[in-house]
């Protein structure tokens, strides 16, 4: 949703709720279309671009789920115990077709094909062997301990839908159905830079008035996904020309550009001015979120632009709440990430209403229903790094809540996934 008239940006204009801002950020990107073929070995963490087709049934043949004896339940009618001569042996990997002679049993091992004529496998622990004879006291029901051909997946069906992340078990499923290569979306190109004349990289000496750059390494870590290809444009001084040139270049070279700092309406905040001069459209300018109010999402030169606040905690929260869902859509991911857990407050807190607040929390006990009992870390100061570093999650406090009381249910988001 473009807002062409954004000369008023920053100071005036409607403030969006966090959910509305997230929706706008998501609406501002189109899902990835370009795909590349990869062997399964190289596809971990990539996004499935088109549904592959299972080449074989999984499992490809009826097989034993246990080590034991293949029998026919027809031979075990009436009253037991029954004595069946052991007439053969079949192990996993035997490719000849075994046959069960009526009135006998076949020694069988897990994964071996079921001999024709057999319809159950008796676990070896449940049977007694007397030399070449099997003694069965309890007749098995038909189909016991048999894994049926195609019970997991059928040949010709897609084992996974498009837009799913290729995790280790999903790669195993594709391999099991005989698929050697997959079509994945190409990596999302993301450009990153930090703004602030006060910033130094750790390792360089710090002069009075300077601070070390926390956002760069944090955002690089948050963006370290197999489906992202990151270009780091480093630190930019608070210089309008340099910021504008980097915005233009990064937007031309990437699908998404993320910056930190410089998005407020102060004189040393040049991002909004640079975006205006680059004919950007702005979708999100002000969000009722704490921390993280100065936040910009828009489009510039075909790329999504996300201007995160400079304070590291604010940058982290706005990244995870607003930027991340848009990045996932842009990369072609369709799975909903809904990973919050129910918890209860272990603290009292009087607060100013109007903004949804994200509070770093930890816990060392759970209540009778298994919910974490939350302790609040720090005072939520968005410039502090220790609270978030020691947090186990972020509690969400809704805008209209003037008071949080001990025992009150709260939602906890996992820490920055």
* Binding stretches for Mg ion (CB under 5 A): 196, 261-262, 310
Helix spans in 260-404 (H): 271-277, 312-318, 324-330, 386-390
Q: 72, 104, 184, 213: which one contacts ligand AMP (CB under 6 A)?
A: 213
Among 68, 163, 191, 261, binds ligand AMP (CB under 6 A): 261
How many Cβ atoms are within 10 Å of 357's Cβ, its own excluded? 24
**Nearer CB in complex with ligand AMP: 18/271:** 271
Of these partners, Mg ion, ligand AMP, none, which one is at the site of residue 264 (CB under 5 to 8 Å by kind)? ligand AMP
**Helix H or strand E segment including 172:** helix 168-176
Tell me which residues in 127-156 interact with ligand AMP (CB under 6 A). none
Contact between 214 and ligand AMP by CB under 6 A: the answer reads yes
Residue 214: name its binding partner from ligand AMP, Mg ion, none (Cβ under 5 to 8 Å by kind): ligand AMP
Residue 215 interacts with ligand AMP (CB under 6 A)? yes
Count residues binding ligand AMP (CB under 6 A): 21
User: Which position has the token pair 């060392």?
Assistant: 364
- Rounded-to-integer distance, Cα 342 and Cα 328, Å: 24
Buried/exposed code over 61-72 (b: 16+ C-beta within 10 A; e: otherwise): ebbbebbbbbbb
Whose CA is closest to 271, among 76, 1, 13, 9?
Answer: 9
Q: Find the shortest distance in angstroms from Cβ 234 to Mg ion.
A: 15
- Minimum distance between the CB of residue 7 and ligand AMP, rounded to whole angstroms? 21
Report the number of secondary-structure helices (H) and strands (E) in the chain.
Answer: 8, 26
- Pick 212 or 340: Cβ nearer ligand AMP: 212
Examine residue 380 and tell whether it contacts ligand AMP (CB under 6 A).
no
**3-class SS at 411?**
strand
Q: How far is it, in rounded angstroms, from Cα 212 to Cα 412?
A: 30
Structure tokens at 7: 């000369």
Closest approach, Cβ 317 to Mg ion, in A, equals: 17
Choose from Mg ion, ligand AMP, none: what does 115 bind? Cβ within 5-8 Å by kind: none
- Closest distance between Mg ion and the C-beta of residue 44, in Å? 37
Comparing CB distances to ligand AMP, the nearer of 52 and 196 is 196
Cα gap 417→409, rounded to integer Å: 23
Cα distances from 20 to residues 24, 289, 319, in angstroms, run 6, 11, 15
Would you say 260 or 324 has its CB closer to ligand AMP?
260
Contact between 346 and ligand AMP by CB under 6 A: the answer reads no
Q: Which CB sits closer to ligand AMP, 214 or 345?
A: 214
- Minimum distance of ligand AMP from residue 360's CB (angstroms): 16
Closest-CB residue for ligand AMP? 310
Q: Of residues 289-328, which lie at the interface with ligand AMP (CB under 6 A)? A: 294, 309-312
Nearest to 269, CA basis, from 292, 243, 288, 306: 243
* 242: phi then psi, degrees, rounded to nearest 5: -65, -40
Nearer to Mg ion, 199 or 343 (CB): 199
Q: Environment class of residue 358 by beta-carbon count within 10 Å: exposed (0-12), middle (13-18) or buried (19+)?
A: buried
Beta strand residue intervals within 210-273, DSSP E: 211-212, 228-236, 256-260
Say whether residue 259 binds ligand AMP (CB under 6 A): no
Question: How far apart, in whole angstroms, are the C-alpha atoms of residue 249 and residue 242?
Answer: 11
Cβ 171 vs Cβ 211: under 8 Å: no
Rank residues 261 and 360 by Cβ distance to Mg ion and give the closer one.
261
If you search the block for the tokens 């019970």, which residue do you land on?
Answer: 151
Contact status: 49 vs ligand AMP (CB under 6 A): no
Q: Pick the closer one to ligand AMP by CB: 136 or 308.
A: 308
Q: Give the CA diameter of the chain.
A: 94
296 binds, among ligand AMP, Mg ion, none (CB under 5 to 8 A by kind): none
72: partner contacted, choices ligand AMP, Mg ion, none (Cβ within 5-8 A by kind): none
211 binds, among ligand AMP, Mg ion, none (CB under 5 to 8 A by kind): ligand AMP
**Minimum distance from CB of 295 to ligand AMP (Å)?**
10
Tell me which of 163, 196, 292, 298 binds ligand AMP, using CB under 6 A. Answer: 196
For residue 130, give every residue at least 6 positions away whose Cβ sits within 8 Å of its Cβ, in sequence order, or none. Answer: 83
Binding residues for ligand AMP, per CB under 6 A?
Answer: 194, 196, 198-199, 211, 213-216, 260-264, 269, 294, 309-312, 383
């Amino acid at each position: 949703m473009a807002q062409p008239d954004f000369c008023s940006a920053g100071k005036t204009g409607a403030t969006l709720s966090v959910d509305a801002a997230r929706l706008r950020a998501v609406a501002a990107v189109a899902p990835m279309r370009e795909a590349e073929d990869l062997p399964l070995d190289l596809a971990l963490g990539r996004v499935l671009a088109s549904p592959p087709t299972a080449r074989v049934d999984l499992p490809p043949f009826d097989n034993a789920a246990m080590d034991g004896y293949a029998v026919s339940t027809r031979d075990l009618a009436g009253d037991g115990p029954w004595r069946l001569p052991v007439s053969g042996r079949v192990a996993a990997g035997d490719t000849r077709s075994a046959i069960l002679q009526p009135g006998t049993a076949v020694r069988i091992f897990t994964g071996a094909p079921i001999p024709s004529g057999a319809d159950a496998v008796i676990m070896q622990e449940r049977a007694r062997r007397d030399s070449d004879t099997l003694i069965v006291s309890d007749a098995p029901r038909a189909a016991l301990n048999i894994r049926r051909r195609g019970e997991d997946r059928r040949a010709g069906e897609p084992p996974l839908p498009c837009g799913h992340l290729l995790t280790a078990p999903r790669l195993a499923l594709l391999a099991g159905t005989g698929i050697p290569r997959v079509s994945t979306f190409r990596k999302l190109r993301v450009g990153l830079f930090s703004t602030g004349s006060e910033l130094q990289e750790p390792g360089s000496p710090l002069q009075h008035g300077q601070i070390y750059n926390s956002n760069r390494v944090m955002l690089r870590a948050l963006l370290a996904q197999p489906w992202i290809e990151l270009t780091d444009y480093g630190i930019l001084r608070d210089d309008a020309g340099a910021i504008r040139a980097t915005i233009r270049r990064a937007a031309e070279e990437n699908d998404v550009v993320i910056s930190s700092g410089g998005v407020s309406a102060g004189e040393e905040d040049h991002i909004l001015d640079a975006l205006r001069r680059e004919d950007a459209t702005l979708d999100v300018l002000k969000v009722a979120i704490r921390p993280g109010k100065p936040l910009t999402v828009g489009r510039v030169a075909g790329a999504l632009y996300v201007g995160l606040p400079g304070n590291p905690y604010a940058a982290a929260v706005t990244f995870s709440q607003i930027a991340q869902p848009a990045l996932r859509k842009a990369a072609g991911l369709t799975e909903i990430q809904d990973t919050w857990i129910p918890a209860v407050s272990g603290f009292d807190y009087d607060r100013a209403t109007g903004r949804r607040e994200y509070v770093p929390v930890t816990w060392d006990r759970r209540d009778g229903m298994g919910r974490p009992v939350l302790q609040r870390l720090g005072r939520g100061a968005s410039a502090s790094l220790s609270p978030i570093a020691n947090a186990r999650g972020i509690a969400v406090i809704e805008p209209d809540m003037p008071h949080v009381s001990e025992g009150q249910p709260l939602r906890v988001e996992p820490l920055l996934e």
